[in-house]
Amino acid sequence: MTLTTDSTPEPASIPIRPLKHCLIPPTQTYIKLQSAAMEKLKKDAFERSSSENKSSDVIVQLFTSPSLIELSVFRIPPIMMRELVPILPAFFSSNNSPSLKDTHLLCIPTFQPCFVEVSKVSIDSELEKNRLLEVFYEFSNLLIKLLSNKCSFIDYIDPCSGSPVRTIHGSSTYSEVDGAQLLLKYKSEQIGFCSVIQHPKWKTNCYPASIFTNATVGQVYEAIETICQQSANVATI
């Protein structure tokens, strides 16, 4: 498989596992909803063009098959770089660039469609959030395994806390909503006291989470290709 930047993203497969550490058994309602949603996703070709993304900083956008994880790769613009200093202190404390303008850092925002409404408080929504979190953690760790020897920094943001998982926490936390608005030009919606992302296809029924690295663009491409190739024969839930 060859990654491209044209308007028709090439399908790829990401290894997805069932819940490993869930202490609450899935309810029958959750199982039925998940099964129905998976069938719908498998039938959906996701033909939305990446031309919807108006940012000139987007590098590539992938749609995994059966479209469980959507990811993009961006070079961090200077205005966002300043906001990241108190969020990723481990990176900026070891950064040798003469200025933030010359600093190389990539952001990999990921999105997953939700099988149940996670904005509502229920056992099923908690199960779904746990599942989505584990999928993101597993993908992030696969990427780290492939890139850790090729770059000096790679970490992913805990969607629950907004803090980096592998390195020290800073004085501020990362907002997935702000990141999606700045990089992807996505809109947001206020639900109760929370601001949530409006995904172009999944609306508010999506799960955002981001990865940061100073690996080169080529190294990221290669790592994603490797994950896709390795997962070609892995069954998805």
Full DSSP string of 67-85: ---EEEEEEPPHHHHHHHT
The whole-model pTM stands at 0.74
Number of Cβ within 10 Å of residue 30's Cβ equals: 21
Which of the residues in the chain have pLDDT under 70? 1-68, 230-237
* Amino acid in position 110: T
What's the pLDDT at 119? Answer: 74
| Listed residue (229, 218, 9) closest to 106, CA to CA | 218
Which ranges in the chain belong to alpha helices (H)? 28-43, 78-84, 89-93, 123-147, 176-179, 217-230
| Listed residue (188, 67, 180, 205) closest to 125, CA to CA | 205
d(CA 67, CA 85): 33
d(CA 148, CA 192): 40
User: Max CA-CA distance within the chain?
Assistant: 57
What's the pLDDT at 202? Answer: 85
d(CA 33, CA 46): 20
What's the pLDDT at 126? Answer: 86
What's the pLDDT at 161? Answer: 95
